């Protein structure tokens, strides 16, 4: 057992426990223990448990992302202030002002990555559990010989759950190649759509004009293709876990955008319109809507006392 496997031992124990409980549940209701459907449903059950436990962390991530977007205009001012200054004093001053800005808004660039960082150890724990099972090795606790043999026999549409894209290609298991190809395409599409929802609908108009927004827009087209690696390197069962987790993220993001949109964004205006149509728009929000409208009209020139008196 290498260092990483040893480090992940507690999480592997939990992953095996959850998988075993879901597998026993589906077996108890009459499903075949060695059926691929039984194992796929057990993996979906693991997704539900993990993502439900991470809801508080996800809420923190959403708030952190919103704060990061809100501080983008102020960040732009700091960057313009030190533009072209490369001396050590200027760099340190810029760093101090940036950190002070993060502290003021109660966020930092790493907060928005927290759910992914928390999920990765769980993901790799599942990888070690499934890899060990595919090699005929028992797990650290609940993945005994019977469950190991059951997993090794499990197939979906004739594609072994334990097999990777590379193994399927080398052994001529074209169902594995096709299934993983479809899953990878769907993972890339779901990840792209999830980020597009945020970038297009849940970002304020002011933030859309900032350099930070333009940088994130570039990443929108790059990050989803990281799933090409997972599609090739990880077994079918693990890709099913990651894909269903992506679907959870997409649905969760949709609910957040609909119920808690960023003020000044397209989603926020759509929500205000819905509330207004139902007569449920709060007074302070109604005032906020009217204020920009009043400012759009022609600016009235201040009248002097003499001009006002002459007009009378």
Q: What percent of the chain has pLDDT over 90?
A: 10
CA distance 253 to 62: 9
pLDDT for the residue 292: 44
CA distance 71 to 91: 20
3-state percent breakdown (helix, strand, coil) of the chain, nearest 5: 75, 0, 20
pLDDT for the residue 25: 94
Give the position of tokens 């057992």.
Answer: 1
pLDDT, tens only, 228-287: 777 788 888 888 988 898 888 888 888 877 877 777 777 778 888 888 777 766 655 555
CA distance 286 to 115: 35
Helix 266-278 and helix 236-259, axial crossing angle in degrees, nearest 10: 50
pLDDT for the residue 101: 75
**Contact between residue 212 and residue 94 where contact means Cβ atoms under 8 Å apart:** no
Domain coordinates of the chain in residue numbers? 3-71+107-275
* Residue 155, strand partner residues: 160
- Report the chain's mean pLDDT, rounded to a whole number: 77
pLDDT for the residue 21: 93
Reported as type and span, the H/E element at residue 160 is strand 159-160
* Residue 160, strand partner residues: 155
Q: With bands split at pLDDT 50, 70 and 90, how would you rate the model's confidence at 66?
A: low
Report helix, strand or coil for 155. Answer: strand
pLDDT, tens only, 110-136: 665 666 677 788 878 888 888 888 777
Question: What does the DSSP 8-state code read for residue 265?
Answer: B
pLDDT for the residue 79: 73
pLDDT, tens only, 84-112: 777 778 777 878 887 887 777 666 666 65
For residue 75 the two structure tokens come to 């960040």
pTM over 0.75: no
76: region left, alpha or beta (phi > 0 left; psi from -120 to 50 alpha): alpha
Helices and strands (H and E) in the chain: how many: 17, 2
């Amino acid at each position: 057992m290498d260092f990483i496997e040893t480090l992940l031992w507690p999480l592997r124990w939990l992953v095996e426990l959850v998988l075993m409980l879901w597998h026993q549940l589906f077996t108890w209701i009459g499903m075949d223990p060695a059926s691929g459907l039984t194992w796929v449903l057990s993996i979906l059950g693991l997704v539900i448990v993990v993502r439900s436990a991470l809801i508080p962390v996800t809420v923190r991530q959403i708030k952190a992302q919103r704060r990061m977007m809100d501080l983008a205009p102020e960040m732009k001012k700091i960057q313009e202030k030190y533009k072209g200054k490369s001396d050590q004093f200027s760099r340190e001053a810029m760093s101090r002002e940036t950190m002070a800005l993060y502290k003021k808004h109660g966020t930092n660039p790493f907060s928005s990555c927290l759910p992914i960082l928390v999920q990765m150890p769980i993901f790799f724990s599942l990888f070690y559990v499934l890899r060990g099972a595919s090699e005929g090795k028992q797990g650290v606790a609940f993945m005994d010989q019977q469950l190991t043999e059951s997993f090794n026999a499990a197939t979906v549409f004739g594609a072994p759950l334990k097999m990777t894209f590379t193994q399927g290609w080398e052994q001529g298991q074209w169902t594995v190649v096709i299934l993983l190809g479809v899953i990878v395409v769907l993972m890339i599409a779901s990840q792209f759509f999830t980020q597009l929802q945020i970038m297009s609908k849940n970002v304020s108009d002011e933030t859309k004009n900032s350099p930070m927004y333009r940088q994130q827009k570039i990443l929108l087209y790059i990050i989803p293709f990281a799933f090409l690696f997972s599609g090739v390197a990880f077994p079918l069962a693990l890709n099913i876990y990651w894909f269903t987790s992506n679907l959870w993220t997409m649905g969760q993001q949709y609910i957040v955008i609909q119920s808690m949109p960023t003020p000044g964004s397209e989603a926020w205006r759509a929500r205000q319109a819905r509330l207004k149509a139902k007569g449920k728009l709060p007074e302070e929000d109604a005032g906020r809507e009217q204020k920009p409208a009043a400012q759009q009209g022609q600016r009235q020139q201040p009248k002097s006392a003499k001009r006002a008196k002459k007009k009378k």
